[in-house]
Structure formats: structure tokens, C-alpha cells
Amino acid sequence: MNKFTVTIERQGDRDYELWKVELKCDTDNSCVYEKSIDKAMVYASNWCKNAKQRAREKDIMNNAIMESIALDRIAGITTSTSDSLD
């Protein structure tokens, strides 16, 4: 279960108003500015709904990086002062 922290606050004056949306959970965070409170709420709702998918994608990327590092070590590409991840 994720715990989400959602902060939505009005930024600017009445002539140029934006809504700042800050979102945090145990695996991710985001900050965007939307032109209306409705758009801010939709963004926040979608972000929370997609949290599990983003976490899975992040895990896949981290695993791919770890496997690349292991393959580089096996192939002898890495040394103590440099690696081949550039």
C-alpha cells in the first residue's frame, strides 16, 4: 500500500493564476503547475492511479542497469577507476 502526499496550492495573482501540484509517495515524487484546479485534480488523480506502474518500470530499469554492470564485470570491461556505462 502506498501513502500519497498531495499538495495543491494556488500560485500567482488573479491575472495569471497557476495551481502547483506536489505529489509524493514512497517510490516517486512530482511537481507540476496546472492552469486550473480541475486540471490539477485530474493530474493528481492520474498520478496516484499510475503509481504501481511507475514503480514496476523503475524496478525494471534498475534491474537492467544491475545486469549491465554484472555483464561488464564478466567481460572485463570495467576497472577500479572507470566503467563502461557512459
Cα-based distances in Å from 22 to 38, 61, 74, 84: 15, 24, 43, 36
Contact (Cβ atoms closer than 8 angstroms) between residue 27 and residue 51: yes
DSSP string, 58-73: HHHHHHHHHHHHHHHH
Q: Which tops the pLDDT comparison, 76 or 36? A: 36
Question: Taking the domains of the chain in order of start, what are their residue ranges?
Answer: 5-75
Q: Is the pLDDT of residue 83 over 60?
A: no
- Name the phi and psi angles at 71, rounded to 5: -65, -40
Residue 84 pLDDT > 60: no
Do you know the residue count of the chain? 86
pLDDT tens per residue across span 8-18: 888 877 778 89
Q: Taking the complete model, does pTM exceed 0.85, yes or no?
A: no
Split at pLDDT 50, 70, 90, the class of 58 is: very high
pLDDT score recorded for residue 70: 87
So what CATH class is 5-75? alpha beta
Q: What nine digits make up the cell of 78?
A: 570495467
